[in-house]
Amino acid sequence: MKGREWYQQDETAEEYDEWRFSKGGELVDDGEKEALFELVGDLNGKEVLEVACGTGRFSVELAEDGADVTGVDISKPMLMKGVGKARERGLGVEFLRGDAKRLPFPDNTFDLVVGMRFFHLVDEPAAYLREMARVSKSRVVFDTFNRGSARVVYNRFLPMGSRLYSEDDVDEVIEEAGVELVDRNDDFVVPFGLYRAIPKTLAKGFRSVDGAVQSVGGDSLSSVTYWMVEK
């Protein structure tokens, strides 16, 4: 996995949310959560696993929506941030340290498995997707950053690297993992990095441009795609 040592450092966990989701990055956070919930629908009472949960920003939202959530991540400092978020909101999310390639759960344990902001870091995406599908009773949601989008402009400068996917790449990963595509969302023609670099008030203008481009069939220009697959 790319940037594994960087990702597990204490200082990375301390700065992670502020670095990624301050300023215009708040719009990225909102957009990703909206995309996820559009795909998964009502989760009240469902058993949900978030793989590579990081600081728990999706885990706590899923729990807030009524799901019984378990979050798994390789980084203890990241997990502790998630524990703090769940406690602050009075949510009973269970956070466990573990390797997403060898999940410590029996087959068909969860109603849904989610892996957000994760597949751009892995070297063997089909193996990870296969393992996520193994512990799911049916569906898995993950996202990819897209080759040919504006993401390539700053991709090489990221501290932990970033894998970009073509649509054919994703089709191959899905086929190798033995799952089938159910649904997808495409978003963010303007790449995430630009949002983080500018004030939220200015970023709202760029977000409006995103929406306008998407409405006239700009999915092929989108920098990120959210995929739902099933066994």
Cβ-in-10-Å burial (0-12, 13-18, 19+) of 88 comes to exposed
pLDDT-derived band of residue 2, with 50, 70 and 90 as boundaries? very low
Per-residue model confidence (pLDDT) at position 10: 57
Highest mean pLDDT, choosing among 86-90, 144-148, 149-153: 86-90
Average pLDDT over residues 67-92: 94
Q: Which domains does the chain have, with CATH numbers?
A: 4-22+44-187 (3.40.50.150)
pLDDT at residue 15 tops 70: no
Scored b (16 or more CB within 10 A) or e, 176-189 reads: ebebeeeebbbbbb
Average pLDDT over residues 17-37: 84
227, 221, 87, 201: which is closest to 144 by C-alpha?
227
pLDDT-derived band of residue 166, with 50, 70 and 90 as boundaries? very high
Per-residue model confidence (pLDDT) at position 25: 82
Average pLDDT over residues 103-117: 97
For the full predicted model, state whether its pTM sits above 0.85: yes
pLDDT at residue 203 tops 90: no
Per-residue model confidence (pLDDT) at position 1: 45
Average pLDDT over residues 198-208: 87
Q: In this structure, are residues 116 and 28 in contact, taking their beta carbons and an 8 Å threshold?
A: no
pLDDT-derived band of residue 92, with 50, 70 and 90 as boundaries? very high
pLDDT-derived band of residue 22, with 50, 70 and 90 as boundaries? confident
pLDDT at residue 104 tops 80: yes
